[in-house]
Structure 1
Amino acid sequence: MNVRKRGEEAASRFRDGMMCVLLALTTLALFWPVSHHSFINFDDPLFVFNNPFIQRGLNLESIRWAFTTTYANSWQPLAWISHMLDIQLFGLAVGWHHLTNVFFHIGSTIILFMTFRRITGHYIQSGFISILFAIHPLHVESVAWIAERKDVLSVFLGMLVLWSYGRYAVSPSPFRYLIVLLFFSLGLLSKPMLVTVPCVLLLLDYWPLQRMQFAPPGSHGHGFQISRNLWLLWEKVPFLALALGVGITTFWVKNYTGAMHSLEHTPLLKRLGNALISYLIYIEKMFYPRGLAVFYPIPKTIDSWHLIGAGCILTVIFWVVLVKRTRYPYLIVGWLWFFITLLPVSGIIQVGSQAMADRYTYFSLIGLFIMVTWGFSDLVQKLRLGRTIPLILAVVVLSILIVMTWFQLKHWRTDLSLFEHTLKVTTDNYLAYNKLGVYAYKEGRYDEAIAHYSEAIKIAPGYSDAINNLGAVYFDQGNFSEALKLFRTSLEITPQAKTLHNIASVYIKQGQLKQALGHYLQAIELDPGFKLAYHNLGLVYSSLGENERAISYLEQALRINPYDALVHHTLGILFYREQNYESAINHLAAAAGIEPDNAQTQSKLGAALARLGRNEEALIHLTKALEINPSDVVSLSNKGTILLKQGQLIEAAECYHQVLEIDSSVVEAHFNLSLILIEQGRLEQAEKHLITVLRFRPGMTMAQNLLRKVQRQR
């Protein structure tokens, strides 16, 4: 008997293992194309490649920042740390950043299967909800968008909460309880949306764990069941306390950073209406996932009949699952899972300008998968359909979903493909027009950018980002008056540091440095972390001859981001002009270490080293500068001067000849070349170069004296 039981257990473990392998390979094959996708210009810059703390990789300072920052209107320390780790391991190799999301998605899929396999004992149903989770098109956004790392990471940890809770529920112990609490804490540190997980645990207590039961009053065991249920509620108190703490923190962060909309901006009735209708749209898209978009604008008006209809349908669903809770407990569990986990992002507390988002369903949709899967299983048994028909239906459904997901993934390849698709499947999408304008602007297609920005402003006249971006196009075209007008309009709608910075840039172009200073100062007052404004303040003060102030602001920019090559380069130039060559070398070396392929930095570093007589080091950097830019006259001239001092006349002469081939008016090259020619006894050629020197600089005494000496010797 024991042998037979062990054999059955071994067979079961093998079957479970094969299901895990199948889920992993299917998911990896389906999502593999994202490894060839690019970054998306929608949160990816903020979250990864324009974030100085992320760019430093994993270190103590960055970890401290992750736990204390409200950057990007978010508090998600573990998600920040995961991005840092990606940079540490892969740099900006975008494919690996995408694949990290995919691996978390695979992990969540496998843990979902293992959890439901353990707590329900059903192999087929557990496998089916897991494959639905893995391949559903609504989940493309969370997996294919690098900035949504917080989604896939938090849900991966959320799945570990469910898995560890299943183990704890079967065999309770303090250690196992603490493991559940630990995973829940880590999940909250990734994304606060997991605050509803304690409710999910209570739902699992009801079904399938059957730890929570209800009996009619007065029946046998009624009092025991009440005590048991109260204990289960008490058991969740630490989870609820953590959820409450993170919820309050998130509310404060969103409110403090201005991400939360006021009731004047979005009235409560409109929020409720949008939330009710969004619930139904999510259900529709679960069954028929078409028209998926990265951004769904809040509709300008909500039809009262749509609102009433949505309310009635949701009420009917609640009534049906409540009535059928005894016979079909998975219905109420699945429905409440879906409904409750969506509440934080339903829009009742409005954060952002979206009506809904595909990514919000990443964890919530599991509830509907439970309802459909177990409901279909019961229907098959009731109708006695056998195995063939259900298998064919399952294969057809999964095949359709895989094809739809495959096509949906293609839309996420680039900014252009994503936002062009978004415009096709939504209406009045001002954000998509703005993003397409940004794409065209970067490509130098200014007329196209103007058209997109103008359309965005036409749809949303108060959309300050599009107004500001339109001003930037006119600025680049040299139409400063129109640019200034648009920047001021944008500033009146939404005071932003970047707009003040743009206004200052107009004044710089018009030579009004003091007006520019005022706007840069306002920009850093509005955003004390605005590094570029500090840098440009330094440049303006330098132009005004106030180098101490210039250096002070540039050093402040470095305190914000010690790894900014541009700021180090600018500081190096200022110290070089001040003849503080040691400080110049320190900053230029730092800039060269960050951006080794910057020819100007390498050239100036070589010149500074040469000033201190460190000629061998100088030659290394000047040679590097010339490898990057062979026609760099300054580097060629400086290299020739060092070689001349070292007595390498042939090599020095070659440098000067190259200089004169590029620019025949470089006086120093003519003069130094004449010295070499005199040393070589080629007086006639030396005379020609000295005559050229005096043609450009008639009062150069050294050249006059040398010319007379050469003419006497001839």
Structure 2
Amino acid sequence: MSATLSPSCKPLLRTQIVICLILFSAIFSVFLQVKDFDFLFYDDNQYILENPYVRSGISTSNLGWAVTSTQYSNWFPVTWASHMLDVWIFGLWPGGHHLTNITFHAMNASLLFLFFSSVTGALWRSFFIAALFAFHPMHVESVAWVAERKDVLSAFFWISAMCAYVFYVRRPAPGRYAVVLCCFVLGLMSKQVIVTLPLVLLLLDYWPLGRFDTTRPATSLAASLLIEKLPFVALSALASVITIYVQKAGGSVATLSTLALKLRVENVVVSYVKYIIRLFYPAGLGIMYRHPTDYPAWQVFGAVIVVVGVTVFAIVQMRHRPWFFTGWFWYICTLLPTIGAVKVGISYMADRYSYMPYVGLFIIVSMAVPAGALSSGTLRRITAITAAAAILMSVIITNKQLKYWRNSVTLFTRAVDTAKDSYFAYYSLGYALHNAQRLGEAESSLKMAVTIKPDYPEALLHLGLVMLRQDKLKESHEVFLRAITAAPTMSEAYNGAGVALMNMGRLNEAAGYFKRALTLDSEDAARNLKLLEQLAAGN
């Protein structure tokens, strides 16, 4: 095969490059505001600001830690390495870390366009897919949150693996196959959500690659394509085992006693429909959503009808509308790891979970436009105007959504609005307000958190600290006692109770709390005991 491009390919390549440059520029113009945003206390502080390995930049020893670390119930060495590299380049300037996220997002959108335009030949449909991916408001969370680097990074290797797979399919060779595997491994080491890639590759085999459409017997062909994916399946299985082990070890997997099987099943089917609704109506977006304690029967029944009905339609129409089959099952399969069948963390839904699954729905939306609408002059103009309006509306809503991510206070003020009656939203806002020295507002927010969940130890602890800083000594001491009852091994609560008593002049009682905190490994308690000794000596 000639290494040079044929004359007919050169105009197409130039057009693709121009469109990629337009995408890149447009993404940066919309998202560039995040370079002035802060790190968030929510994961950003743990991943970067308080992590000595990341803070010291990239090095051999730090990379060794990244490979073996299961900190924060995650294993993602490539993501850790990217944060270390950011610190080496930008230091602790938040803007630099945000710029890296934007760059990966822009590359992901461009690669998606190149992939679909190359395999379908549908230039403008592919552009529409990439533009929706680039500007949909549901994708703001993955880009504007530094700690969600794992989303944009794993997606980069995911899409790179798809592009490499096309080269392998067009001219199979062990080296090309190895490149696909290498991209997949790097993606797994960025975020294990990429485990569904083997299923995606099979869907791409059906459409748009058309590998099932051959003269070979169907069973023989299916067997060969499945065997081809076995190394990917093995890696996915290994990554899944690692993820479940790490999450369980970190206490992030909810048991059936804390989240009933019935509610999990209902949540799965309803969430599939909710994500579809938010594709077309992205209102009320926030960083967290309150987990329902129950779903109305009509809602569950309606969701089942929608999911089953669309699935049956996709199967029945798979020969006539293969793009619908691939798009729908792309969405169903890629959302499986985060849909809530296995409950991990506090979120039952999250905007970031839609980052790659939405590509399947974007395929359907783009390819559903009849060919006649693109050939007729009037219909073409109407179609182009409608597509442009959809993209423009996405940009406007995304621009508004981005502003909520400016800092922890703006983000969790929004969270309180979107996650009604969520104790964690109120606690997070109170924590952020406390750090911003807005003590009165912090107290109100933390009181709401403990009203909703009276035995929430972290909220009680920070409420006590906020009261202590306002010299509400008696009230803070009572709150610290509640925190101790909720979490008897929380050294900070014992220390806080001791400080409140010390400031009230009850030195002997304070000493008892400091000694208890000291047994629980509190450096603050050791300093306070010394201060107490000095005060006693002064008396």
TM-score (norm 1): 0.70
Counterpart CA distance in 2 for 1:379 and 1:258 is: 55
- Classify 1:495/1:137 alpha carbon distance in 2 versus 1 (closer, same or farther; 3 Å): farther
Counterpart CA distance in 1 for 2:238 and 2:473 is: 49
Contact 2:192/2:243, CA 8 A, preserved across alignment: yes
Contact 2:480/2:497, CA 8 A, preserved across alignment: no
Partner amino acid for 2:15? R
- Name 1:154's counterpart in structure 2: 154
- Name 1:486's counterpart in structure 2: 479
Contact 1:501/1:520, CA 8 A, preserved across alignment: no
**Cα displacement string for residues 372-401 of structure 1 (whole angstroms, at most 9, x for unaligned residues):** 101124473699964211111111111111
- Gapped regions of structure 1 (runs ≥ 5): 215-220, 525-532, 546-714
1:363 and 2:361 matched:
no
Partner amino acid for 2:145? W
For residue 224 of structure 2, the aligned residue among 224, 228, 231 is 231
- Classify 1:22/1:326 alpha carbon distance in 2 versus 1 (closer, same or farther; 3 Å): same
- Classify 1:346/1:317 alpha carbon distance in 2 versus 1 (closer, same or farther; 3 Å): same
**Cα displacement string for residues 22-74 of structure 1 (whole angstroms, at most 9, x for unaligned residues):** 11111111111111111122111111112222111111221121112221221
Counterpart CA distance in 2 for 1:302 and 1:463 is: 25
Counterpart CA distance in 1 for 2:372 and 2:305 is: 26
- Displacement of 1:119 after TM fit? 1.7
- Name 2:537's counterpart in structure 1: none
- Name 1:127's counterpart in structure 2: 127
- Classify 1:378/1:317 alpha carbon distance in 2 versus 1 (closer, same or farther; 3 Å): farther
- Name 1:504's counterpart in structure 2: 495
Instruction: Give the number of the structure with larger relative contact order, counting CA–CA contacts within 8 Å between residues 6 or more apart.
Output: 2
- Name 1:624's counterpart in structure 2: none
- Displacement of 1:467 after TM fit? 2.0
Counterpart CA distance in 2 for 1:340 and 1:383 is: 36
- Name 1:519's counterpart in structure 2: 517
Partner amino acid for 2:189? L
Q: What SS does structure 1 have at the residue aligned with 2:348?
A: strand
Highest Rg: 1 or 2?
A: 1
1:174-323, aligned counterparts within 5 Å? 174-213=174-213, 224-323=217-316
Counterpart CA distance in 2 for 1:367 and 1:379 is: 23
- Name 1:465's counterpart in structure 2: 458
Counterpart CA distance in 1 for 2:75 and 2:484 is: 27
Partner amino acid for 2:519? L
- Displacement of 1:247 after TM fit? 0.8
Contact 2:207/2:323, CA 8 A, preserved across alignment: yes
Partner amino acid for 1:516? F
- Classify 1:344/1:390 alpha carbon distance in 2 versus 1 (closer, same or farther; 3 Å): same
- Name 1:90's counterpart in structure 2: 90
Q: What SS does structure 1 have at the residue aligned with 2:8?
A: helix
1:657-672, aligned counterparts within 5 Å? none
Partner amino acid for 1:452? S
- Name 2:36's counterpart in structure 1: 36
- The percentage of aligned residue pairs carrying the same residue is 34
Contact 2:514/2:529, CA 8 A, preserved across alignment: no
State the superposition RMSD in angstroms: 2.3
- Classify 1:492/1:250 alpha carbon distance in 2 versus 1 (closer, same or farther; 3 Å): farther
- Gapped regions of structure 2 (runs ≥ 5): 534-539
Contact 1:419/1:436, CA 8 A, preserved across alignment: yes
Give the count of matched residue pairs. 523
1:405 and 2:398 matched:
yes
- Classify 1:382/1:194 alpha carbon distance in 2 versus 1 (closer, same or farther; 3 Å): same
Counterpart CA distance in 2 for 1:544 and 1:410 is: 47
- Classify 1:88/1:130 alpha carbon distance in 2 versus 1 (closer, same or farther; 3 Å): same
Partner amino acid for 1:155? A
Q: What SS does structure 2 have at the residue aligned with 1:260?
A: coil
Counterpart CA distance in 1 for 2:281 and 2:353 is: 17
- Displacement of 1:484 after TM fit? 4.5
Contact 2:477/2:496, CA 8 A, preserved across alignment: no
Q: What SS does structure 1 have at the residue aligned with 2:203?
A: helix
- Classify 1:444/1:544 alpha carbon distance in 2 versus 1 (closer, same or farther; 3 Å): closer
- Displacement of 1:543 after TM fit? 7.3
- Classify 1:377/1:162 alpha carbon distance in 2 versus 1 (closer, same or farther; 3 Å): farther
Contact 1:480/1:506, CA 8 A, preserved across alignment: no
Q: What SS does structure 2 have at the residue aligned with 1:376?
A: coil
Counterpart CA distance in 2 for 1:383 and 1:431 is: 54
- Displacement of 1:504 after TM fit? 2.9
Partner amino acid for 2:493? N
Q: What SS does structure 1 have at the residue aligned with 2:342?
A: coil
Counterpart CA distance in 2 for 1:321 and 1:330 is: 9
Counterpart CA distance in 2 for 1:493 and 1:152 is: 38
- Displacement of 1:116 after TM fit? 1.3
- Name 1:100's counterpart in structure 2: 100
- Displacement of 1:273 after TM fit? 1.3
- Name 2:7's counterpart in structure 1: 7
Counterpart CA distance in 2 for 1:154 and 1:454 is: 39
1:434 and 2:421 matched:
no
**Cα displacement string for residues 584-618 of structure 1 (whole angstroms, at most 9, x for unaligned residues):** xxxxxxxxxxxxxxxxxxxxxxxxxxxxxxxxxxx
**Cα displacement string for residues 147-203 of structure 1 (whole angstroms, at most 9, x for unaligned residues):** 101111111111111111111111110000000000000000010111111110111
Contact 2:416/2:425, CA 8 A, preserved across alignment: yes
Counterpart CA distance in 2 for 1:268 and 1:306 is: 17
Contact 2:518/2:526, CA 8 A, preserved across alignment: no
- Classify 1:116/1:542 alpha carbon distance in 2 versus 1 (closer, same or farther; 3 Å): same
Counterpart CA distance in 1 for 2:436 and 2:410 is: 15
Q: What SS does structure 2 have at the residue aligned with 1:41?
A: coil
Counterpart CA distance in 2 for 1:369 and 1:359 is: 16
**Cα displacement string for residues 315-352 of structure 1 (whole angstroms, at most 9, x for unaligned residues):** 11111111111100111111111111111111111112
Contact 2:135/2:394, CA 8 A, preserved across alignment: yes
Contact 1:271/1:348, CA 8 A, preserved across alignment: yes
- Name 1:699's counterpart in structure 2: none
Contact 2:423/2:452, CA 8 A, preserved across alignment: yes
1:76 and 2:76 matched:
yes
Contact 1:129/1:369, CA 8 A, preserved across alignment: yes
Counterpart CA distance in 2 for 1:495 and 1:128 is: 56
Q: What SS does structure 1 have at the residue aligned with 2:258?
A: coil
